[in-house]
Structure 1
Amino acid sequence: MRRGSELRKALAEKFDDELRFFRGWIDKPKAVGSIIPTSSFTARRMASVIDVSSGLPVLEIGPGTGVITRAILARGVPAAKLYTVEYSADFVRHLRRHFPGVNVIEGDAFDLDHTLGADAPKRFDCVISGVPLLNFPVERRVAYLEDLLDRTSEGRPVIQLTYGPKSPVPPGLGSYTVRHFDFVIRNIPPTQLWVYERGRRN
């Protein structure tokens, strides 16, 4: 009986997340890249790049309803060491309610100096990005990536999802390398994952 009630609760929460995500897409289609949340399988693949042993905080951009946030925490990142930046006020309220202890910050991912503020960590182990970059001009995508890489530890990645067939940040336009990480069929729509890195700093 208890398993049945737990299943009903889990299904209700999933439906609530999907409905909330759809409403977010209707309100701000440029800020929300899909009409349903990222799959838990995709979220786990993205979180797999985290080096928990580094002890450094993790930066998540565009968490939406928190599917990837949940995978990051399950990876072993303490809530206090996860900084997540979300543009939608509705998603921010949802995240703060469901992920106590996580540093949920409302603001613009393209202006992180202002959004994160002076008290935020200066260096992160890696960045996990769900921002729908294809909705923005190429030059803004490149500037966004360069800013994220400036905030990562030496040689550590930025991982980005996209629904297009190619890297949303083209190679050869900045001081970064581009590597295809995975093609996730178990996502609606199927998702490409890309990793961006720099060499070790001198």
Structure 2
Amino acid sequence: MQQPPLAAFFSALLAEPRKIGAIVPSGGRLARLMTSEIEPSAGKVLELGPGTGVFTEALLKRGLPARDLTLVELETRFIAPLQQRFPDVTILQRDACELSACKAELGPQAAIVSGLPFRNMPIEVITAIVGGGFSLLERGGAFYQFTYGQSCSVPPDVLAELGLRAERLGRVRLNIPPASVFRISRRPE
């Protein structure tokens, strides 16, 4: 029998807490802030680490066509619940570190929404994921990342190395725990 999304979340959390990086799934307010700049007509959107699908649901509620959304999820426990909830969305079970090798398969992306716990990852992994993401992003595209800290979870050295900048969009105090959302974009040339 398939696990419901919350059961899948807590099962994954108990098995690998650092990999999940949260004590409860993200809330609706955080999802609305994370997706607030992505217009339904934006084009293709890539979501990394969708987990229970709270950002996926927010993107679809904003009017993004399901055909324009691709989810990249490594955790097996989340795949079946995501497929059941979002049957028209493309779901790839793969490591987000492999994004740069997926250019032909994924094509150019207008935006990336990330629920990945960067604060729990080595700097090399963060660099591979963010660098791979930007290899897919169209000019003017943005990478949206949330964190439970005050500063961006992509270290300043990584941003500098990749020619990127991070701007805080806001903080959601009513999330558990409170979270900040950052828009990461290319520095002007």
> Considering the TM-score relative to the shorter chain, is it more than 0.5?
yes
Q: 1:112 matched to which residue of 2?
A: 99
Question: How many Å separate the matches in 2 of 1:52 and 1:153?
Answer: 16
Q: Verify: 1:139 aligned to 2:124, yes or no.
A: yes
Q: 1:61 matched to which residue of 2?
A: 48
Question: How many Å separate the matches in 1 of 2:80 and 2:15?
Answer: 16
Is the 1:123–1:153 Cα contact (8 Å) retained in structure 2?
yes
Amino acid in structure 1 at the alignment position of 2:20 = V
Amino acid in structure 1 at the alignment position of 2:79 = V
Q: Verify: 1:75 aligned to 2:62, yes or no.
A: yes
Is the 1:66–1:95 Cα contact (8 Å) retained in structure 2?
yes
Is the 1:146–1:175 Cα contact (8 Å) retained in structure 2?
no
Structure 2 regions of 5+ residues with no counterpart? none
What is the total number of aligned residue pairs between the two structures?
A: 183
Is the 1:155–1:199 Cα contact (8 Å) retained in structure 2?
no
Is the 1:141–1:168 Cα contact (8 Å) retained in structure 2?
no
Question: How many Å separate the matches in 1 of 2:17 and 2:92?
Answer: 20
Of 4, 21, 26, which aligns to 1:38?
26
Aligned-residue RMSD, C-alpha: 1.8
Of 143, 155, 174, which aligns to 1:170?
155
Of 14, 18, 24, which aligns to 1:26?
14
Question: How many Å separate the matches in 1 of 2:138 and 2:100?
Answer: 17
Structure 1 regions of 5+ residues with no counterpart? 1-15
Q: Verify: 1:97 aligned to 2:84, yes or no.
A: yes
Q: TM-score, normalised by structure 2?
A: 0.89
Task: Kindly state the Cα deviation for residue 199 of structure 1 after the two structures are TM-superposed.
Answer: 4.5
Is the 1:49–1:157 Cα contact (8 Å) retained in structure 2?
no
Q: TM-score, normalised by structure 1?
A: 0.84
